[in-house]
Each structure stands twice: as structure tokens, then as C-alpha cells.
Amino acid sequence: MIRIGQAGIPLSCKGRTNKDGIVYTKKVLDLDAIEIQFVRGLYVMTDEEAQFIRDFSEENDVEVHVHAPYYINLAGDEDEIKMSFEKIKKSAQMADKMGAKTVVIHPGFYGENSEKKTMKKIIKNTKKICDTLKKEKIKTKIGLETMGKQKVFGSIDEIVEVCRNVKDAVPVLDMGHIHARCNGCLKERKDFEDIFEKVKPLNLNHYLIHLTGVLYENGNEYYHLPIKKGDMPITPLIDIILDNKYNVTLISESPLLEHDAVYIRLQVEKAIMKRTGKEEANYRDLSDL
Ligand SMILES: [Zn+2]
């Protein structure tokens, strides 16, 4: 199954609450996923709003994910780790109330530490936070995002390694970040296939994927671009998803947000129509491909 949505409240949505955002995503855009953003700090969502989002998402089959605040460092000093635990825990508690599948985090920074030591710390602390969530009976999973800068922990190999060691954590495949970090390596089908090959040992039954165009230099992301303005093609990725009938959620993180989410949907539908020869496509149901 394929689900498509955007990161946060759609730009064209007049109401600016997450409640407005999820309703608009379904009723106006006819999309079926949203990643609610707590990125610029943890504003506290009321229980009432969280409950509304849960009920709406269940009744209308919209998948919910949450993005935790950007600044988290599971490889930092004691204070940073404590602060990171607090942010992740609060995000996860709210995510769980909303019935969210994943709470996405940026794992941390190397700082003065070697890659090896950073890895050790991140594995240890990810385990700890997953255990805490388990004790609180939180069903939302921790999602570790692939990161787009050299000094930030989170190459695809590193994220897979953490997830191999912490079975409750899942990778979040931010394709724009992977592309920036390898200085534009995602060009052809094979390049995207390599990514799925890398995550294969994790035996996932679902992939959360972030998509955007990205401006980068020397293996470092500068900023996000509209998908069409970037140099990472999305058709090879769509072909792989369709060929393997992967269960995926594609989240647009482009500055055009929902416009690019709809663009992704059109590209998926085009690819399906090419296969079936029909003039209509239902991207939610891939059973007759
Ligand atoms: Zn992110």
C-alpha cells in the first residue's frame, strides 16, 4: 500500500491548527498521511486536540506520524541527553495519544567523539528511550531519520546499524538527506535499490519515506527545494515501490508541502497507468499490478 501526505499543516489550509491540517489533508487534498511537526519546540497539544486527531484518523483512514523537535542529541553530554530524553518522551506521549505510528527524531551529533563512540552512545540511549516508552505502554515507534550533513550522525548505514541493535526503533528514509550526504548519488533506479538493500536485514513491513528536492554542496545539505527544482529524480523510486509492492508512506517535506505531495501522487498514478494501460489509477490499492 502507498500512502501520501505532507509534513505539517498544508500551506493552503486557512486554519492553522493540526486539527485543521488533518481534516484538510483528507477532505480537500484527498491525501492519506500527515506528519505532525513539533520541530520548533514542543508546544503542548491539548488532550482534546490529540483525541480529535486520533478519532479523525481512524474514521477517515489517515495515517499519522509525528516529528519531534529538531535539536536532540543522544550522543551529547549528560545534560543534552537528559534534555533529549524529555523532548522525545513528551513527543512520544502526545504521538501515542494521537495514535501516531512513528515519532521521528534526528539522533545526534559526533561532536568531539569518533564515529564509533557516537554510534555506541546513540545505540545505548536509543535503547534506553525505547525501554522507557515500552514501560509507559506507548505504542508509537521511535523513527531515526537519515541526516543530510557530514557532521551530523545519520548516514543510511549508521541508521541501519542502530536499528539492528535496537529492535523497537525503525529507520526513516529521508531521501533528500541521503542524496545530499552522498553529494547527489541518487540518480538511477539502482541507487535507490541500494538503499532498500541496506535496510533489508531489518525485515520491515513498512517504510516511512521523506521526499523533497534539496540543495547541497560537498556532501552537505543547504536547504530544501521543490521536488522539480532539485536533481534527485523520484520516478525510479516510485518504480521500485510499485515493482515490489512495498508498503510505504511518502511524506513531502518540500517547501511546496502539499503541492509536492499532490505532485508525488500524480507521478505514482502515472506510473500505475503505464503499467495497467488504464486511464485511471488507484494508488492506495496495488493488488492488480
Ligand atoms: Zn527531520
> Tens of pLDDT along 148-163?
999 999 999 999 999 9
Pairwise CA distance, residues 154 & 106, whole Å = 8
Compute the distance from residue 143 Cα to the ligand 1 centre, in Å: 10
Q: Is 30 exposed, middle or buried (0-12, 13-18, 19+ CB in 10 A)?
A: exposed
pLDDT, position 286:
81
Compute the distance from residue 279 Cα to the ligand 1 centre, in Å: 36
- DSSP letter at 140 equals P
Q: Sorting pLDDT into bands at 50, 70 and 90, what band is 18?
A: very high
pLDDT at residue 44 is higher than 80 = no
Compute the distance from residue 106 Cα to the ligand 1 centre, in Å: 6
pLDDT at residue 45 is higher than 90 = no
Contact 176, 147 (CB under 8 A): no
Q: Sorting pLDDT into bands at 50, 70 and 90, what band is 95?
A: very high
Rounded to an integer, the average pLDDT of 164-183 is: 98
Pairwise CA distance, residues 20 & 77, whole Å = 39
pLDDT at residue 73 is higher than 90 = yes
Residues in CB range of 30: below 8 A, 6 or more apart: none
Other residues' Cβ atoms within 10 Å of the Cβ of residue 189 = 14
Compute the distance from residue 209 Cα to the ligand 1 centre, in Å: 11
pLDDT, position 151:
95
Q: Which residues surround ligand 1, an ion (CB under 5 A)?
A: 145
Give residue 108's region: left, alpha or beta (phi > 0; psi -120 to 50): left
pLDDT, position 167:
94
Compute the distance from residue 174 Cα to the ligand 1 centre, in Å: 8
Compute the distance from residue 39 Cα to the ligand 1 centre, in Å: 8
pLDDT at residue 42 is higher than 80 = no
Compute the distance from residue 244 Cα to the ligand 1 centre, in Å: 26
Cα distances from 208 to residues 144, 183, 229, 250, 276, in angstroms, run 10, 22, 23, 6, 26
Instruction: Find the range with the poorest average confidence among 37-46, 85-94, 206-215, 276-285.
Output: 37-46
Cα distances from 23 to residues 8, 59, 153, 219, in angstroms, run 12, 11, 35, 38
For residue 221, give the 3-state DSSP assignment: strand
Place of cell 527545494: 225
pLDDT at residue 285 is higher than 90 = no
Q: Sorting pLDDT into bands at 50, 70 and 90, what band is 288?
A: confident
- DSSP letter at 218 equals T
Place of cell 501526505: 5
Compute the distance from residue 5 Cα to the ligand 1 centre, in Å: 15
pLDDT, position 50:
95
Compute the distance from residue 112 Cα to the ligand 1 centre, in Å: 23
Average pLDDT, the chain: 96
Compute the distance from residue 122 Cα to the ligand 1 centre, in Å: 17
Compute the distance from residue 22 Cα to the ligand 1 centre, in Å: 19
Question: What is the per-residue pLDDT across 99-153, written as a single tens digit (0 to 9) for each?
Answer: 999 999 999 999 999 999 999 999 999 999 999 999 999 999 999 999 999 999 9
Compute the distance from residue 87 Cα to the ligand 1 centre, in Å: 14
